[in-house]
Amino acid sequence: MKIKPQVVTRFAPSPTGLFHAGTYRTAVFAYLFARHHEGTFILRIEDTDRIRSKKVYEDNILETMSWLGLSYDYLHRQSEWVKEHESIIKNLVNRNQAYVSPEKGEDGVTRELVRFRNQNKVVTFTDAIRGPITMNTTDLGDFVIAKSFTEPLFHLTVVADDALTGVNHVIRGDDHISNTPRQILIYEALGATIPTYAHLPLVLAPDRSKLSKRKGARAVSEYRDLGFLPEALLNYIASLGWNTGGVEEIFSKEELVERFSLDQVQKSGAIFDEVKLRWFNREHLKKISSDRFIAEGLPFLSKRMQGILKESGQTEVILSLLRERIETYDDIRALEESGELEYLVEAPIYEAEKLKWKQDPDLAVTKTHLEATLGAVSKIPEGTWTKESVREAVWSYAEAAGKGSVLWPFRFALTGKDKSPDPFEVAGILGKDETIRRIHTAISKLAHA
């Protein structure tokens, strides 16, 4: 039996800001790759830059990882490994692969920099996404790997920590390609095994410029506050530059893990488009249980509206009606703010003229249709009042007399709005008594118009 070496990979963010989907795409791909291969996924906080690294950003990374469902097997902070880094630097110096170089900085202070002794080699590696890459390291000179024995710099810490934790797959953005030769040289000097590299193409904004916060790209955590579902974000982020080759796009986390492969990662930049993300969210919203929808969606309504719904016993019915009309939970808030929900809890106020279908000659026609509608729905027995039974009661009359002509006044009488769900839907929610009351009101308005 041949035992496959276990995959060990990592996500190594620097806690220096709030990250957009482009950065988390690296986390998602590394996570899916590790889980697909039943390997190990490490989260490494690269906080050696003491000035720029902030606890709030680290907290945000941990929260976002957990919200997206990206569980890791191991978490460590680079700053906790000063001793290990120091001994690696000393080791390199002792073996003459690096040397201490006293140099005066811009501030006039002389520091004992540690420089790597570059042998000016040609470095070749095979990138899992880009194929073979060859780079001449002559121009790099003897590069600095530490500002002192206890102040290691980026290239040294990345290699040291990857080697110390057995990382054998480095999946990261292709802005790191130019760093790779230096890091390979350090691996060789340490006698450590060079990992497989997979450099992911950039994530771009819809205008094909680099996705950036300055240009309005949101932090992933902001989508949580805006009422997006984590599974929609995960699914959409996973689709940035990767696809299964099939037409299906909506996948659960388990399905993504099962299907993920680095072979299908595209070489060209992927576009992050919020419109598409909203579509993913809508598709995932359709899939969640009604209990979850209510629990998560309700807080987006005002306390007042929540109270009114609770009192009417209609919370579930009304929220399920909203589910069909929204892309994110925040749309529930927007619907309420635009006054769209008022008619569900309070009889609308409007002018009689508005009841008239635009193609009808006068209000007399409108009144006749409303009277016919009233007659038809009054016959529905109380216990069988549903949107379907209301539709059935009115439909053949509406078809014969003209749908717009009959259904517009019916809907307007119930909602007082130019736009709303159809009258059957609304009547189903309002119930028989309230529906009849509102049609009556409309008829008497017309009688006095």
Which residue in 135, 158, 376, 413 binds ligand GLU (CB under 6 A)?
158
Gap between the Cα atoms of 160 and 78, Å rounded: 10
**Region at 159 (left for phi over 0; alpha for psi -120 to 50; beta for the rest):** alpha
Considering only 7-15, 35-43, 414-422, 428-436, which stretch makes contact with ligand GLU by CB under 6 A? 7-15
403 near ligand GLU, judged by CB under 6 A: no
146 near ligand GLU, judged by CB under 6 A: no
413 near ligand GLU, judged by CB under 6 A: no
* Min CB(61)–ligand GLU separation in Å: 10
Give me the residues paired with residue 169 across strands: 9, 196
46 near ligand GLU, judged by CB under 6 A: yes
176 near ligand GLU, judged by CB under 6 A: yes
- Residues in Cβ contact with 207 at an 8 Å cutoff, skipping those fewer than 6 apart: none
Which residue in 7, 8, 13, 308 binds ligand GLU (CB under 6 A)?
13
Considering only 6-14, 47-55, 215-223, 349-357, which stretch makes contact with ligand GLU by CB under 6 A? 6-14
Gap between the Cα atoms of 113 and 265, Å rounded: 40
* Min CB(51)–ligand GLU separation in Å: 15
Torsion of CA 413, 415, 417, 423, to 10 degrees: -80
Q: Scan for tokens 């009351």, then name that residue.
A: 437
Whichever of 176 and 218 has its CB closer to ligand GLU, that residue is 176
Which residue in 12, 89, 144, 153 binds ligand GLU (CB under 6 A)?
12
Gap between the Cα atoms of 143 and 107, Å rounded: 20
Q: How far, rounded to the nearest angstrom, does the alpha carbon of residue 267 sit from its chain's CA centroid?
A: 22
Encoded amino acid at 410, one letter = F
Cα atoms in the 13 Å half-sphere on the side-chain side of 11: 26
Whichever of 154 and 236 has its CB closer to ligand GLU, that residue is 154
> % helix / strand / coil in the chain, to the nearest 5?
55, 15, 30
* Min CB(1)–ligand GLU separation in Å: 34
Give me the residues paired with residue 54 across strands: none
Q: Which residue is nearest to ligand GLU (CB)?
A: 172
Gap between the Cα atoms of 151 and 147, Å rounded: 5
* Min CB(272)–ligand GLU separation in Å: 17
Whichever of 17 and 431 has its CB closer to ligand GLU, that residue is 17
Considering only 11-19, 204-212, 324-332, 417-425, which stretch makes contact with ligand GLU by CB under 6 A? 11-19
43 near ligand GLU, judged by CB under 6 A: no
Q: Is 103 helix (H, G, I), strand (E, B) or coil?
A: strand
- Residues engaged in binding ligand GLU (CB under 6 A): 12-14, 46, 158, 172, 176
